[in-house]
Amino acid sequence: MAKRTRAEFLSRHPVCCFCGGIRASEEEDHIPARTLFKARQWPEGFSFPACRDCNAASRHDELLVSVISSVYPDGVTEEDHREFRAKLLGVSNNIPGALQELQMSPNEIRRALRKHNIPRDPTIFLQEYPFLKMDGPIVTCAVHQFARKLFLALHYRHTNRPLSNLGGIAITWFTNIQIQNGVIPVDLAKFLRRHVSLKRGNMELDDQFYYWYYGSEANSFGVYLAFFRESIALLGYVKNDIEEFRSFPKGDLYTPFQWKL
Ligand SMILES: [Zn+2]
Distance 50 CA to ligand 1 centre (A): 5
Write down the pLDDT at residue 167: 96
Write out pLDDT tens, residues 60-101.
999 999 999 887 777 778 888 898 899 999 999 999 999 999
Distance 3 CA to ligand 1 centre (A): 21
**Average pLDDT for 210-228:** 88
219 CB-near residues (< 8 Å, 6+ apart): 158, 159, 161, 240
Write out pLDDT tens, residues 39-68.
888 888 899 999 999 999 999 999 999 999
Distance 153 CA to ligand 1 centre (A): 11
Distance 165 CA to ligand 1 centre (A): 11
Write down the pLDDT at residue 39: 82
Distance 215 CA to ligand 1 centre (A): 23
Cβ neighbours around 210 below 10 Å, total: 17
Write out pLDDT tens, residues 118-140.
888 888 888 778 788 888 999 99
The 8 Å CB, 24+ separation contacts for 189-195 are 191/223, 192/223, 192/225
